[in-house]
Chains A and B, each alone.
Chain A
Amino acid sequence: MSFLSGENMTGGYGGADILHDCTIAVDKGQIAVIVGPNGAGKSTAMKAVFGMLKIHTGRVILDGTDISGLSPQDRVKAGMGFVPQNNNVFTSMTVQENLEMGAYIRKDDFGDTMHQVFDLFPILKEKRHQHAGELSGGQRQQVAVGRALMTQPKVLMLDEPTAGVSPIVMDELFDRIIEVARTGIAILMVEQNARQALNIADKGYVLVQGRNRFTDTGEALLANPEVRKSFLGG
């Protein structure tokens, strides 16, 4: 039994089903990566796990409890952090204010968490009083991840965190994500850069048309000739 699992999820945005019997799971301290061709339902699968779309069959289990009925907001309170792909920072607010807003639901003192985020992303400490809208793409993603970490989630979900950043920044972001995972947080991530993502993944899910096509460790998927041929460009 995994710490977080979406089991046999079937559903869509109201019209035809996009996900078909799709299962995704991740354990604490692990990185699970969802890859697949365009339109495979990668982001949809993640949104289903986070409750942003209705699944009529299947369920989502977090730490042994069925959370299928919870709204995304309630899932945040239950310990899930979500970093959307786009518009994932408050551009008109400073970096520090972004982090404060991330901790909005916390009633306790979140100063320590902010220090941890600053330790993880030193550049954010330097730019704490700058508006998030003035930062580079990679720095923005760090703000977005930092914002999600402020609730001290047990699971962090990232929707294409490296979209639109340079390869160097991508490597750095992946390094940080590994560091986050080492603190015992379960990480579920959708990635366009399949090869690099599977490289750091403990678990990989290859989705095709909303269905699980291959599920294995990242290493095994990278070694699988069929996966290489169809999804990793040889």
Chain B
Amino acid sequence: MTDILNALILFANFVLVPATAYGAQLALGALGVTLVFGILRFSNFAHGDTMAFGTMVVILVTWWFQSMGVSIHPLPTALLALPFGILATVGMLLATDRLVYKFYRKEKSPPIVFVMASVGVMFVMNGIVRFIIGPNDQRFADGERFIIKARDFKAATGMAEGLTIKVSQALTLGIAVIVVIALFWFLQRTRTGKAMRAFSDNEDLALLSGISPERVVMITWIIAAALATIAGTLYGLDKSFKPFTYFQLLLPIFAAAIVGGIGNPLGAIAGGFVVAFSEVTITYAYKKFLRYLLPENLEPDSLVQLLSTDYKFAVSFVILVLVLLIRPTGIFKGKVL
């Protein structure tokens, strides 16, 4: 009995908790991608670097706050800096739209042209971020680090295995829930949100109904900026900030959006968790876990790891390919790419 409990605690500690936090981060990222796809009708490759840009601003403001001794202990100072990061990113995205995408909208360019333009935007943003903050790892998490420490958990329960829950993980989940509720309330209940859904559903009819496309586009960028900055900051708090990692996040985020059904916000959330749990469960080494559950003579010698963590991006790739082959509309019937 204790063996089973220990196995479950081990599993929760190394798979359940981290994958849930990671899933929430991916979900927030995928929501941004899916909204831009639904309204502007193109896959925004610059989303990962938008996350990096927003997080960079949050980090810079966090350092500034720290230097002034401003703190909201036990919570990380970054939360205080988050609104500033969102504002800066909103400005950045609206400027980008004005300088780049608006031209192609006027030209009525096909979606692939927008995608290529977004690749260009991605490189520029990538450059700006590295130019300002550098390509290296930055740590900016402060405040209390743990809600439950492994040692305390062991002492309290008397179990051999410990469970750790980091403040950043709990924050990620809590903030993600709040953001998602707010977003859905906005899309389902407000006049502007409904106009956005109408525009995404049927652009011509939306125009006929007097919905202003430029306003819808502007609000979409504002929401995308907020989602990207929040997702990026939560990811950075949970792990660390490195511009290249954020660029790489693009793959699991797109996989999440497409698995869920691109253009469908509910799908983006589901997709985020599907991708995160696949990635973590497949790259986890089950040796210790199995040792608790199996009789002694069946104990595995190897690590029982299906895939080395170095290959974790392969998981997103495989999911992406499988979904596009078998069910291109995704779980929740999004648009076919």
Which positions in A face B, CB cutoff 8 Å?
72-73, 76-77, 82, 84, 87-93, 97, 100-102, 104-105, 147
**Bound CA–CA A147/B210 (angstroms):** 12
**Bound CA–CA A92/B198 (angstroms):** 8
User: B208 near A92 (CB under 8 angstroms)?
Assistant: no
- B: interface residue count bin: 10 to 19
User: A91 near B201 (CB under 8 angstroms)?
Assistant: yes
By Cβ-Cβ distance, the 8 closest A-B pairs, closest first, are A105-B210, A90-B201, A101-B198, A92-B201, A104-B209, A101-B209, A90-B198, A104-B210
How far in angstroms is the closest Cβ of chain A from B331? 16
**Bound CA–CA A72/B205 (angstroms):** 11
User: A87 near B202 (CB under 8 angstroms)?
Assistant: yes
Residues 180-232 (chain B) with a chain A CB within 8 angstroms:
191, 194-195, 197-198, 200-202, 204-211
**Bound CA–CA A187/B307 (angstroms):** 67
User: B211 near A101 (CB under 8 angstroms)?
Assistant: yes
Closest residue of B by beta carbon distance from A132? B201
**Bound CA–CA A73/B194 (angstroms):** 19
Closest residue of A by beta carbon distance from B194? A97
User: B194 near A100 (CB under 8 angstroms)?
Assistant: yes
Scoring A77, A87, A101, A105 by chain B CB atoms within 10 A of each residue's CB, the highest score goes to A101
User: B201 near A104 (CB under 8 angstroms)?
Assistant: no
Taking CB atoms, residues of chain B closer than 8 Å to A92 are 197, 200-201
Partner of B194, one of A91, A93, A105: A93
User: A77 near B205 (CB under 8 angstroms)?
Assistant: no
Taking CB atoms, residues of chain A closer than 8 Å to B210 are 73, 76-77, 104-105
7 inter-chain pairs at a CB distance below 8 angstroms, sorted by A residue, are A76-B209, A84-B205, A93-B198, A100-B194, A101-B194, A101-B195, A104-B209
Taking CB atoms, residues of chain A closer than 8 Å to B194 are 93, 97, 100-101
User: B198 near A87 (CB under 8 angstroms)?
Assistant: no
Beyond A93-B197, A93-B198, whether A104 also contacts B205 by CB under 8 A is no
User: A84 near B204 (CB under 8 angstroms)?
Assistant: yes
**Bound CA–CA A147/B200 (angstroms):** 17
Other than A72-B207, A104-B191, A104-B210, give 11 A-B pairs with Cβ distance below 8 A. Answer: A76-B209, A84-B204, A91-B202, A93-B194, A93-B197, A100-B194, A101-B194, A101-B195, A101-B206, A104-B198, A104-B211
